[in-house]
Amino acid sequence: MRKEESSTRTADEARILKFLSEQEGSYPEPKLIEALFGIKMSDDELPTSEQDLARVQEIRNILNRLVASKRIYASVLEDPNTREEILNYSSKGFFATP
């Protein structure tokens, strides 16, 4: 891994941790990615370009590492409007249906 990639990844981790610590409850993955990284997520939760797809995968890898290290928590919650199950993240471990 190049030094540049490592520093970007560390900056992204810090950005995610700060954002989630400012949230009252859990935050859905598609909205988190759109709010922090400006990647528009379509209805089926896939990015709209190949470049965005690679970036979203990188972000998801960072989220997985943060969950594995217990710095954030993840849970699948059902959206009451669409009945769709969506991965949500929290820095506090508090999850409530949106």
Q: How is the chain split into domains, by residue range?
A: 3-90
- Closest Cα to residue 33, out of 13, 56, 2? 56
Nearest to 98 by CA among 1, 26, 21: 26
What does the alpha-carbon distance between residue 88 and residue 98 come to, in Å, rounded to a whole number?
Answer: 10
Tell me yes or no: is domain 3-90 CATH 1.10.8: no
Question: pTM (2 decimals)?
Answer: 0.82
pLDDT tens-digit map of 24-66 = 888 999 899 999 999 987 666 667 788 998 999 999 999 999 9
CB 75 within 8 A of CB 26: yes
